[in-house]
């Protein structure tokens, strides 16, 4: 329960954190990585593991990689449905 509250999970579908990570990796490989090379599949696996084990580090890496520094501000004034 403490982990669920700390990570923001409301009710995970599996009990074990490791099971959840493995399920996510398997889902991505079945849908996206079918026919990929072994090297490409290894990279995808590293990405998924990094996102689950160090989300703050993953976000910081993308901020640095994309050179996002807060200089752009988007304002949506409205949306009309047809």
Residue, of 2 and 41, whose pLDDT is higher: 41
| 52-78 average pLDDT score | 80
pLDDT of residue 4: 65
Which residue has better confidence, 41 or 3?
Answer: 41
Query: pLDDT category, 19, cuts 50, 70, 90?
Result: confident
Beta-carbon contacts of 82 under 8 Å, excluding residues fewer than 6 positions away, are none
Question: What's the distance, Cα to Cα, between the start and end of the chain in Å?
Answer: 45
* 35: three-class secondary structure by DSSP: coil
Alpha helix segments (H runs only) across 1-82: 2-7, 17-31, 38-53, 55-65
**What CA–CA distances, in Å, run from 68 to 11, 46, 57, 73?**
33, 23, 15, 11
């Amino acid at each position: 329960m403490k982990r669920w509250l700390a990570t923001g999970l409301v009710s995970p579908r599996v009990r074990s954190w490791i099971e959840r990570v493995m399920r996510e990796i398997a889902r991505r490989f079945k849908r996206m990585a079918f026919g990929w090379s072994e090297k490409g599949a290894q990279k995808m696996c590293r990405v998924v593991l990094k996102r689950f084990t160090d989300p703050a580090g993953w976000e910081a890496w993308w901020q640095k990689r994309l050179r996002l520094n807060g200089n752009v501000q988007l304002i949506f004034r409205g949306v009309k449905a047809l």
